[in-house]
Amino acid sequence: MNVMKKFDDITVLKDEPMARHTSWRTGGVAKQYVQADSLMVLAEFIKTLPTDEKLLWMGLGSNTLVRDGGFDGTVIATQGVMSQLELLDETTVLVGAGVASAKLARFCAKNNLLGAEFFAGIPGLVGGALAMNAGAFGGETWPLVIEVEVLNRSGEIIKRTASEFEYGYRHIKGLVGDLSNEWFVSVTLQLSEQQQKKDNTIDIKQLLAKRAASQPTGVASCGSVFRNPEGSYAAQLIENCGLKGKAIGGAIVSQKHANFIINENNASATDIESLINFVQETVKRQQGITLQPEVRIVGNKAAEDKNGEKSK
């Protein structure tokens, strides 16, 4: 049963269905789902949690699959908090982890700045883009980073420079802090100023139109499921295996773009994970390449009865 508790400037939802908070629109319940009105309130709340409490920070849920057995920990909602977005000088932008990537792209365009257009193609928040070095249209997040602020399990906010991290294609590594117990709350980005002013929103619209022409939009998916292997494209490998339209339960490989898995007919998280595994196994067998998922899969698998069937 879902129970809401409202404390000072914070809401805690017990047994919250994660299908309400992920772009795949499926998944089990979280033990508790927390929405804070400010970063300071959130930091104080985190201090009160047991040191072994599992934490899952979630923005728009666009790269997360919560298994049907649910998440036995605390989910921290970043949307609606950490929402600062401001120019520090002519080419430097401070942005909170809870800001939508597309909003950041529009803000930079409005202020005549170059370099952030690709954020328009990232279906999530800035915090998630930092956590995985997200990219689109040939651009990536971390080459723009000057410094970040992180929040740790003790409720401390710490500034770290970009030099304290290593990054590569769709991943980052902390050289100093422990990223399993630190979470991004803001970032300072270095952009470049256009010499001649123009309406950058036109460029963004063109990029989004290109995306819409080649990728399924307006459907329940997580965006790209797999990273592109070096020198190749995941979508092409999957298509070459004849997997477009392959379905398991309510989950199906998109006919429009093979690196998308769509919740087409009330798919369970198990359906989606099974299809992810099937695609990996098939591409490995036929192409000799092991695809690595971009999506994070968390939580417990559904309980099974003695016959190996999911409990109803």
Burial of 114 (0-12, 13-18, 19+ CB in 10 A): middle
Instruction: Convert 1-43 into a string of H (helix), E (strand) and C (coil).
Output: CCEEEEECCEEEEEEEEHHHCCCCCCCCEEEEEEEECCHHHHH
Question: How many other CB atoms are found less than 10 A from the CB of residue 89?
Answer: 6
Please give the mean pLDDT across all residues of the chain. Answer: 91
User: Which residue has better confidence, 128 or 180?
Assistant: 128
CA distance 36 to 67: 25
pTM: 0.88
Q: What is the pLDDT of residue 196?
A: 60
As a 3-state breakdown, the chain gives helix, strand, coil percent values, each rounded to 5, of 25, 30, 40
Catalytic pick from 149, 182, 273, 294? 294
For residues 106 and 119, give the distance between their C-alpha atoms in angstroms, rounded to a whole number. 9
294 is catalytic: yes
Which position among 224, 254, 268, 273 bears the catalytic label? 224
**Tens of pLDDT, residues 4-41:** 555 568 999 999 999 999 999 999 999 999 999 999 99
CA angle 37, 94, 178 (to 5 degrees): 75
pLDDT given at position 306: 36
- 85 sits in which H/E element: strand 85-87
pLDDT digits (tens, 9 = 90+) for 142-187: 999 999 999 999 999 999 999 999 999 999 999 987 888 999 999 9
Domains of the chain: 3-77 (3.30.43.10), 85-207 (3.30.465.10), 216-298 (3.90.78.10)
**Does residue 214 carry a catalytic annotation?**
no
Phi, psi of 251 (to 5 degrees): -100, 140
User: Is 170 among the residues known to form the active site?
Assistant: yes
218 has a pLDDT exceeding 70: yes
Single-letter code of the amino acid located at 70: G
Contact 245, 255 (CB under 8 A): yes
The catalytic residue among 170, 186, 254, 273 is 170
Predicted pLDDT at 198: 63
